[in-house]
Structure 1
Amino acid sequence: MKKKLSYFLVAVLSMGSLVGCGGNATESSGSSDQPAEAANSNSSAEGDVVTIAVGSAAPDTETSHYQQFLLKMKEQVEKETNGTVKIEIHANGELGGEREMIEAVQLGTLDATITGAGPLGNFAPSSNALDFPFLFNDREHAYKVLDGEIGQSISKELESTGAKILVWAENGFRNITNNTRPIKTPADLKGIKIRTQENKIHLDTFKDYGANPTPMAFTELFTSMQQGVVDGEENPLSVIVPNKFFEVQKYMTLSEHFYQAAPFVINTAKFESLTPDQQKALQSAAEAARDFERQFIFDMNEKFIETAKEGGMEILPTEEFDREAFVAASENVYKKYESEYGDILKRIRETK
């Protein structure tokens, strides 16, 4: 996939426009056959039609929270701008993995992406503080952190790299799946090769739990589990079920060990090329899509669990998960990064 994306980027740079790769991907109802505009196009004038190409590693299905976010955003921004701003959706990992797409947004060869926050720490280091285990009390606590001063400061940090966060959408609380055994305690993870995101906090956390964490692009995950390259993975229900991981995973523990946001990241130059009214409409549409997507995930969670059971998964419920043992096993990762993230972690915990 990296080689594929490299060819894509070369083509973009040479042609001055974005060309979608991965022609075998299923086209979403919000995507187009036409090439998207380059992110570094000239400033738009009143009446010009501006296309914003958005990449997503998620499927373009009715149960995909990323797809629901993008369709809602597309509908609203095109309505509010009378069609002068159009959203072009490239789903199914058509344009590469999440880290690759963030890099493309920074380069200006992709206009925008919605991505899990895990890889974001490679570009805005303070965002790693969001990824500590058992950090957030509940979803509402996470929203207050992300929609407030802390979320804004992380976006400011990212802007120095050529990209900015319009809103923090949601992935949700992450859960553990595998093909080896039910996971009740950290000891149950011993020796299990589990795919993680390319995130140092996640890697160190699962090492402390006794697992063998293996960073891997999301686009490679299903096949890797199917072929036994990895034994398991960890993701929110909103990712596990729409991607049909129950077809290649036997056990799921409702561990809710990490909460993960899903920032919508746009190339800064692209955003600034819009007129003030277009910028306002895009921001408003992104906020509406964020709220819609968060509620969508909440409403779908029970259905996701039932679908996973029907697909053959054995589910270990939250009440049987030894949360206290996992919290105790997580203490080392907090100590390791105290000097680096202690201040922001304190601010997160104190957010009311």
Structure 2
Amino acid sequence: MKKKLFGLLTVLLVFVLAACGGSSDSTSAGEEGTASDEIQELTIKFAHVVSENTPKHQGGLAMKEYIEEHSGGKIKVEIYPNSSLFGDQDEYQNLVANNIQFIAPDVTKFVGHNPQFNVPALPFLFDNDEAAIAFWDGEKGKEILNSLESDGVIGLYMWPNGGKHITNNERPLVTPEDFNGLKFRTQGGQVLEELYTTLGAGSESIPFSELYTALDQGVVDGQENTFSNIESKKFDEVQDYMSVMNHTRVDYAIFTNTTFWNSMNDATKEIVQAGVEEGTRVAREESQKLNAAAYEIIKERGETEIIELTPEQIEVFRQVLEPIYEEFESAIGADIIEAARAANEEYGNATE
């Protein structure tokens, strides 16, 4: 009788422990996920290096709003702009460590991991955002975004910031010869370095958060960036000339880490994924709007002389820089370059 009673108590104890173990359906970012269909309670951190009035930040806000609303407030999204949490130099390491759950860096910052991230730096490859988006949403673009999985990092979507233009403090830049002897800040990478070397100029990689001071103090003569980044960071205050070129691009991508991503149950991941997609939609829409508005603000401020290069002047630069494609074809891949050119052929020359 005692044995039967002991056995019955043992069974009851197992049921009680199982019930207690399955009662919690919340987790913090990076903990083990749960099989429950209940939405987990999470705090998600998203860090970036640019200002609030940029396509990236607007996409982040849309992502935050969607996730918090559709999770009934169970998921909180904290956004840290202006390198206020982590900057260019340490955001990737902190993503890998799951200290933050999302970053959206310029993809050319990853050329040290994979030279195929040099695609936006190839001169005059994409005419507009539509062509660049078509490439990154295609098979070859997704292959590049997924190439960091060995680090535990997942690339989700490209967020465009647009074509870049060049500012400097020395003289109007109209011909390739005008670049001779000048020094420019770039995001880094082999292709951008070679681009400026071909033009007879030097280049230096400087964190974005330090760029205004570097320009003001003459550490470099100039820099290349989108209208929205030039205007929002007021680079025109410390630069005398701006050449409108659209020669290379700033394309961001939103990245997460596998520790966080795999910690979510299906119900939670569905909301977060949809939030990322909503942020992507808004970031892509805002890119052209904000760049156009920023260009008008730069004109109105009148701090810098604007040189709008003609198609004929652009063609001279295109011919001078064309050898870069042959030099980097093996590192980037002929198939990647072909896919990018095919996307531009189909979607390029559309209205910016």
- Asked if residue 101 in structure 1 is aligned to residue 95 in structure 2, the reply is no
**What are structure 1's unaligned runs of at least 5 residues?**
1-36
Q: Is the 8 A contact 1:162 1:269 kept in 2?
A: yes
Distance apart, 1:139 and its partner CA: 2.0
- Asked if residue 212 in structure 1 is aligned to residue 199 in structure 2, the reply is no
TM-score normalised to the size of structure 2?
0.84
Q: Is the 8 A contact 1:203 1:215 kept in 2?
A: no
What does 1:137-216 align with in structure 2 at a 5 Å threshold?
137-216=127-206
TM-score normalised to the size of structure 1?
0.84
Distance across 2 between alignment mates of 1:122 and 1:95? 23
Q: 1:51 aligns with which of 40, 43, 58?
A: 43
Deviation per residue, 1:89-126 (Å, 9 max, x gap): 11111233324212221232322211111202223332
In structure 2, the residue matched to 1:31 is none
In structure 1, the residue matched to 2:106 is 116
In structure 1, the residue matched to 2:274 is 284
Q: Is the 8 A contact 1:183 1:321 kept in 2?
A: no
Distance across 2 between alignment mates of 1:38 and 1:221? 35
Distance across 2 between alignment mates of 1:321 and 1:246? 26
Deviation per residue, 1:228-253 (Å, 9 max, x gap): 11111001112111111111111111
Secondary structure of the corresponding residue to residue 337 of structure 1: helix
Q: 2:217 aligns with which of 195, 220, 227?
A: 227
Secondary structure of the corresponding residue to residue 54 of structure 1: strand
Instruction: Return the letter of the residue paired with 2:338.
Output: K
Q: Is the 8 A contact 1:55 1:93 kept in 2?
A: yes
Q: Is the 8 A contact 2:174 2:309 kept in 1?
A: no
In structure 2, the residue matched to 1:32 is none
Q: Is the 8 A contact 1:165 1:265 kept in 2?
A: yes
What does 1:11-22 align with in structure 2 at a 5 Å threshold?
none
Deviation per residue, 1:114-171 (Å, 9 max, x gap): 1111202223332223421111133221111111212211122112211111211111
Distance across 2 between alignment mates of 1:320 and 1:201? 23
Secondary structure of the corresponding residue to residue 198 of structure 1: coil
Distance across 2 between alignment mates of 1:47 and 1:346? 43
**What are structure 2's unaligned runs of at least 5 residues?**
1-26, 347-352
Distance apart, 1:47 and its partner CA: 4.3
Distance across 2 between alignment mates of 1:94 and 1:81? 26
Distance across 2 between alignment mates of 1:47 and 1:141? 37
Distance apart, 1:321 and its partner CA: 7.3
Q: Is the 8 A contact 1:184 1:320 kept in 2?
A: no
Q: Is the 8 A contact 2:186 2:206 kept in 1?
A: yes
In structure 2, the residue matched to 1:339 is 330
Distance across 2 between alignment mates of 1:282 and 1:222? 35
Distance across 2 between alignment mates of 1:150 and 1:268? 22
Secondary structure of the corresponding residue to residue 165 of structure 1: strand
In structure 2, the residue matched to 1:308 is 298
- Asked if residue 326 in structure 1 is aligned to residue 301 in structure 2, the reply is no
Q: Is the 8 A contact 1:203 1:213 kept in 2?
A: yes
Task: Tell me: CA distance 1:321–1:38, structure 2 relative to 1, closer, same or farther (3 Å).
Answer: farther
Q: Percent identity?
A: 31
Deviation per residue, 1:26-58 (Å, 9 max, x gap): xxxxxxxxxxx9753332563431111111101
Distance across 2 between alignment mates of 1:187 and 1:42? 58
In structure 2, the residue matched to 1:73 is 63
Rg larger in 1 or in 2?
2
Secondary structure of the corresponding residue to residue 225 of structure 2: strand
Distance across 2 between alignment mates of 1:291 and 1:97? 25
Q: 2:236 aligns with which of 246, 249, 258?
A: 246
Deviation per residue, 1:197-245 (Å, 9 max, x gap): 1221111111111111111111111110111111110011121111111
